[in-house]
């Protein structure tokens, strides 16, 4: 994070480069090589700042104990590990955790219909408001759960990748009932595959009602084609624009996807009356439904090859083709490199990652391993501009370490103020990941206000009732943090001068969090 030591940054890069240059083999060096360069606290902080949601003293102690190579191995292959009890208890108490998705959504749908049917206008209005408030409550729970995990999960890389893929496979909470669906989308479609096989992740998003609703495929039927999902599936999810598909491919893929939709019928309701010839093709899994009556069974060609399967299996065949296309390997690898290395990542690195992606049949962890072991990664530490979500998470993790927040709503508000609301991006491209998008005048100004909110009044995170008095002191003890002490040598003269002139600890915190060094990871 900090410009620590140009020296150790350069030496880290050189040490890694030494492992790879002059060797004819194309395999990456073993992770154990990393330990040689990561035995000082400042470098460990830099690694933590990039791989986790933000460095702090306790995670540094953990990394130091484990060793960087093994720690990275654990991050790439996450085991089910508990959150701290104070965080897990908050999640366990959520409606989201206690109600299966189909039950929740079918119940809400009944509630919506009942509200619409009320004859009295006043009652109708009140009932509709109650329905909207339920949806708002559910999305707030999903946002809070995400923040708690990002702050405290031992599987930090998995949490970072969950955000990355939620952004890649973006859905937007303002559309329809997605507020009720998005928590399950993250929990059951995205997080389990965040470090797994890309093809599985792609398939899971296609099978989720949140995606089918958001990109209108729930409405896509034979002779009533809707191209929306088909286009974004190729442009944004797999091949990338310019990845070799045409308008005709968009139309053909839309036909492949006809009948892939959502059912809000009770789980035990009898299936719809499907014509006998294709009745066996009917599929219902939770809210997901494939309805053969709505599917176009005509012959199709995608990317120059015919689609041979029939019914829902056509979608699988199409996803196989898209997930394994060289354009996809490159598109996904580049986006990962933008997220973890630089806005304009070195093409050679992207090529190596794409090769790892292809060799491993789209294994995300293998692709990331190639990234983390690269000299380009080591050389980039401390230089990647934080987007707002990263900025808020890193600030709170640094300020309060493993002390569990009891109310993360203020954090959600800070993220909203900077324009990166969780699940709030309206269009399917997701939030931008580059510096130019987040380093404008208005952004920086808002960031300094957030720095002050954390630095001078951070105790709002430990008050469950908004009206209750704040504990004293109402700000974190940043100057005493071992992590902050370890990074101080890397601060610029200007930052040290500002800190020296701070009038009180709140202002010291504010200046540190507002400093150029804390804007980067």
Partner 1 sequence: MQRRELFKLMAAAPFAGAAGQLMAAPAAEGAKLLVVFLRGAYDCTSLLVPTASDFYYASRPNIAIARPGEPNGALPLDSNWGLHPALAQSVMPLFQRKQASFIAFAGTDDLTRSHFETQDSIELGQALGRQRDYRSGFLNRLAGVLGAGPVADVSPIAFTDQLPIALRGDAKAANMALAGAARAGIDARQSQVITAMYRNTPLAQPVAEGFQVRDEVMRAVQAEMDAASRNAMSAKGFELVARRMALLMRERFDLGFVDVGGWDTHVGQGGARGYLANRFEELGRGVAGFAQEMGDEAWRQTVVVVISEFGRTFRENGNRGTDHGHGTVYWVLGGGLSAQAGGRVVGEQQALSQATLFQNRDYPVLNEYRAVFGGLFRRMYGLSPAQLERVFDGVAPKELQLV
Instruction: List contacts with partner 1 (CB under 8 A).
Output: 216, 219-221, 223-228, 231, 235-236, 241-242, 247, 250, 417-419, 426-427, 429, 432, 436-446, 448-449, 452-453, 456, 492, 494-495, 497-498, 501, 507, 510-511, 514-516, 519
Sign (positive/negative) of CA torsion 224, 313, 322, 287?
positive
> Minimum distance from CB of 21 to partner 1 (Å)?
30
DSSP string, 387-428: PHHHHHHHHHHHHHTTSPPS--HHHHHHHHHTT--TT---ST
- Shortest CB 127 distance to partner 1, Å: 22
Cβ distance to partner 1 smaller for residue 213 or 397: 213
Rounded to 5 degrees, φ, ψ at 457 are -145, 30
> Are 357 and 363 within 8 A, CB to CB?
yes
According to DSSP, the residues that pair with 306 across neighbouring strands are 301
Pick 356 or 415: Cβ nearer partner 1: 415
- Centre a 10 Å sphere on the Cβ of residue 102 and count the other Cβ atoms it contains: 19
Count Cα neighbours of 220 within 13 Å in the Cβ-side half-sphere. Answer: 29
Cis? peptide before 294, omega within 30° of 0: no
Q: Which is nearer to partner 1, 124 or 383 (CB)?
A: 383
Nearer to partner 1, 361 or 497 (CB): 497
Comparison of 99 and 492: residue with beta carbon closer to partner 1: 492
Nearest to partner 1 of 370, 498 (CB atom): 498
Residue closer to partner 1 by CB (options 344, 361) is: 344
State the Cα–Cα distance between residues 433 and 422, nearest whole angstrom.
14
Q: How far is 431 from 424, CA to CA, in rounded Å?
A: 9
Q: Which is nearer to partner 1, 272 or 432 (CB)?
A: 432
Nearest approach in angstroms of CB 351 to partner 1 is 19
- Cβ 219 to partner 1, closest distance in Å? 4
What is the closest distance, in whole angstroms, from the C-beta atom of residue 516 to partner 1 in the complex? 5
Residue 385 beta carbon to partner 1: minimum distance, rounded to whole angstroms: 9
Nearest to 19 by CA among 40, 42, 35, 41: 35
Q: Whole-number minimum distance, CB 71 to partner 1, in Å?
A: 31
Q: Which residue in 408, 250, 241, 407 sits closest to 330, CA to CA?
A: 241
Nearer to partner 1, 358 or 446 (CB): 446
List phi, psi (to 5°) of 453: -60, -45
Distance CA 487, CA 512 (A): 11
Classify residue 344 as exposed, middle or buried by CB count within 10 Å of its CB (0-12, 13-18, 19+).
Answer: exposed
Question: Shortest Cβ distance from residue 228 to partner 1 (Å)?
Answer: 4
Least Å distance, CB 503 to partner 1, is: 9
């Amino acid at each position: 994070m900090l410009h620590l030591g140009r020296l150790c940054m350069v030496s880290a890069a050189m040490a890694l480069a030494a492992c790879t240059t002059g060797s004819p083999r194309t395999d990456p060096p073993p992770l154990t090589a990393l330990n040689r360069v990561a035995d000082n606290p400042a470098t460990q902080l830099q690694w933590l700042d990039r791989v986790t949601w933000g460095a702090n003293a306790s995670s540094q102690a953990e990394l130091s104990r484990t060793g960087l190579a093994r720690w990275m191995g654990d991050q790439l292959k996450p085991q089910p590990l508990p959150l701290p009890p104070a965080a897990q208890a908050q999640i366990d108490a959520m409606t989201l955790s206690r109600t299966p998705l189909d039950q929740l959504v079918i119940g809400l749908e009944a509630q919506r219909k009942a509200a619409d049917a009320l004859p009295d206008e006043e009652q109708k209005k009140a009932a509709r408001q109650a329905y909207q408030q339920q949806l708002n409550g559910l999305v707030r729970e999903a946002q809070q759960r995400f923040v708690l995990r990002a702050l405290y999960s031992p599987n930090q890389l998995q949490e970072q990748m969950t955000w990355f893929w939620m952004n890649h496979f973006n859905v937007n909470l303002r559309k329809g009932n997605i507020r009720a669906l998005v928590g399950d989308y993250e929990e059951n479609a995205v997080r389990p595959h965040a470090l797994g096989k890309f093809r599985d992740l792609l398939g899971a998003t296609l099978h989720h009602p949140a995606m089918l609703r958001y990109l209108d495929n729930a409405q896509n039927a034979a002779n009533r084609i809707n191209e929306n999902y088909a286009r974004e599936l190729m442009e944004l999810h797999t091949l990338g624009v310019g990845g070799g598909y045409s308008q005709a491919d968009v139309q053909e893929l839309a036909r492949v996807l006809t009948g892939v939709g959502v059912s809000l019928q009770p789980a035990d309701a009898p299936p719809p009356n499907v014509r006998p010839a294709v009745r066996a093709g009917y599929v219902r899994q939770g809210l997901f439904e494939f309805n053969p009556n709505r599917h176009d069974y005509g012959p199709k060609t995608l990317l120059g090859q015919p689609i041979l399967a029939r019914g829902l299996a056509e979608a699988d065949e199409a996803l196989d083709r898209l997930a394994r296309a060289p354009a996809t390997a490159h598109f996904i690898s580049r986006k990962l490199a933008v997220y973890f290395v630089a806005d304009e990542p070195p093409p050679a690195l992207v090529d190596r990652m794409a090769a790892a992606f292809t060799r491993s049949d789209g294994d995300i962890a293998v692709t990331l391993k190639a990234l983390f072991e690269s000299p380009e990664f080591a050389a980039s530490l401390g230089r990647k501009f934080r987007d707002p979500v990263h900025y808020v998470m890193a600030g709170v993790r640094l300020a309060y370490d493993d002390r569990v927040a009891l109310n993360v709503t203020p954090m959600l508000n800070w993220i909203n103020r900077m324009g990166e609301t969780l699940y709030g991006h309206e269009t399917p491209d997701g939030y931008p990941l580059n510096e130019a998008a987040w380093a404008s005048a208005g952004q920086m100004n808002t960031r300094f206000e957030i720095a002050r909110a954390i630095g001078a009044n951070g105790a709002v995170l430990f008050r469950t009732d908004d009206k209750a008095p704040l504990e004293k002191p109402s700000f974190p003890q940043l100057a005493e943090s071992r992590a902050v002490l370890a990074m101080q040598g890397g601060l610029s003269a200007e930052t040290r001068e500002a800190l020296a002139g701070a009038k009180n600890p709140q202002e010291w915190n504010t200046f540190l969090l507002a400093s150029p060094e804390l804007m980067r990871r």
